[in-house]
Structure 1
Amino acid sequence: MKLMFASDLHGSYYWTQKVIDRFKDERADYLVLLGDLLYHGPRNPLPKEYNPQKVIELLNQIKHQIIAIRGNCDSEVDQMVLQFPMMADYNFIPLEDRKLMITHGHLYSENKLSQFLQKGDALVFGHIHIPILKEKEGIYYLNPGSATLPKENHPQTYAILEDNHFEVKTLDGQIYRQLQLT
């Protein structure tokens, strides 16, 4: 199974269209959205082509291929217009020899690690807008960065997980960082 991860779209029609274009180019089975889909948030600037209504249209067109969780900027009103579930604070994706815990990162993170994970599992999160790929005490911490509002001079990114290989890529498809999960 090939999974594509994106986080922190923050209502940008421009960057969401780029994410969906990459999803189609990558031919991933599912697009896993790690929260903060429609609203830009009070601490963020308005992103390029901020248009939540058009983002809703784009995402609903591929609703059967989306796995999503709630971010700190997402609300029940967002769920009323999105045609896929996105209100869970976390979820699990089972793989052959491990499980992925997906979450936004504001409730569960490296510093607030859930007791649900064991050696070999991965916490996949967004929220901080910075790509992270690391292993600590047998648990993997994976963050695709932000597709819309990256921080600390990182480019707009997304991630691919296939055959236990996690790649963070720029929105032109170039590998930015990678990690083999053992």
Structure 2
Amino acid sequence: MKWLIASDIHGSALYCGELIKAFGREGADRLLLLGDLLYHGPRNDLPKGYAPKEVIAQLSGLKDKIFCVRGNCEAQVDQMVLPFPVMAEYCLIETADRLVFATHGHVYNTDNPPALFEGDVLLHGHTHIPAKTQVPAGWWYLNPGSVSIPKEGSPRGYLTLEKGLFLWNTLEGREYDRLAL
């Protein structure tokens, strides 16, 4: 199974549309969204193409393929307008004999990690900065960056996961990092 993993759309219909194109181009089976889908939040400027109602329509077309965790910008009203669950704090994926703990990053993060074993993965967005770091305890922290509001000069992008291989890609599909676990 191939996963496409993305975070922090923040209501940009423009970049959500690019993400959906990438989902099709990648031939992914599932789309894992790491939160902050519709609202830009008080700390961010409006992203280009800000149109949350359009994002709702775009994502609704993939409702049977989406898994999502709640970001710090999600609220109960978001669940009322989206046809797939968005309020879970985390989701678990088992791949290549490893556990992937997927969350947004505002609750569970490298400063407050869940129970992980050596080789496991803490996967979260929230920072808008791509990451690939093995912590001293032996587990990995991975971040796909942001779809619409990247920070620290990082590209707009996403991750794919297939057979234990994580690939970081720009929204245009250019691979720029990888990790095989």
Sort the TM-score into its range (normalised by shorter chain).
Answer: over 0.9
Q: Offset of 1:96 from its aligned partner?
A: 4.1
Runs of 4+ in 1 over 6 A off after TM superposition: none
Once the two structures are superposed, residues 85-119 of structure 1 have per-residue CA deviations (whole angstroms, 9 ceiling, x without a partner) of 0101111112241111110000000111112x212
Q: 1:35 and 1:111, CA in 2 relative to 1: closer, same or farther beyond 3 A?
A: same
Asked if structure 1 preserves the Cα contact closer than 8 Å seen for 2:90 and 2:104, the reply is: yes
Normalised by the length of structure 2, the TM-score is 0.97
- Tell me what 1:95 maps to: 95
What SS class does the counterpart of residue 91 from structure 2 fall into?
Answer: strand
What SS class does the counterpart of residue 39 from structure 2 fall into?
Answer: coil
Q: Offset of 1:155 from its aligned partner?
A: 1.1
Asked if structure 1 preserves the Cα contact closer than 8 Å seen for 2:96 and 2:164, the reply is: no
What SS class does the counterpart of residue 67 from structure 2 fall into?
Answer: strand
Partners of 1:179 and 1:97 lie apart in 2 by 15
Asked if structure 2 preserves the Cα contact closer than 8 Å seen for 1:40 and 1:46, the reply is: yes
What SS class does the counterpart of residue 64 from structure 2 fall into?
Answer: helix
Letter in 1 for 2:122: L
Asked if structure 1 preserves the Cα contact closer than 8 Å seen for 2:95 and 2:163, the reply is: no
Gaps of 5+ in 2: none
- Tell me what 2:170 maps to: 170
Letter in 2 for 1:120: G
Partners of 2:56 and 2:94 lie apart in 1 by 28
Partners of 2:161 and 2:138 lie apart in 1 by 18
Q: Pairwise CA RMSD of aligned residues?
A: 0.9
Asked if structure 1 preserves the Cα contact closer than 8 Å seen for 2:95 and 2:164, the reply is: no
Sequence identity of aligned pairs in percent? 49
Normalised by the length of structure 1, the TM-score is 0.96
Asked if structure 2 preserves the Cα contact closer than 8 Å seen for 1:134 and 1:179, the reply is: no
Letter in 2 for 1:48: K
Once the two structures are superposed, residues 3-29 of structure 1 have per-residue CA deviations (whole angstroms, 9 ceiling, x without a partner) of 110000000000000000000110111
- Tell me what 1:72 maps to: 72
Q: How many residues align?
A: 180
What SS class does the counterpart of residue 64 from structure 1 fall into?
Answer: coil
Partners of 1:176 and 1:131 lie apart in 2 by 11
Partners of 1:95 and 1:180 lie apart in 2 by 11
- Tell me what 2:128 maps to: 129
Mapping of residues 1-182 of structure 1, within 5 Å: 1-115=1-115, 117-136=116-135, 137-181=137-181
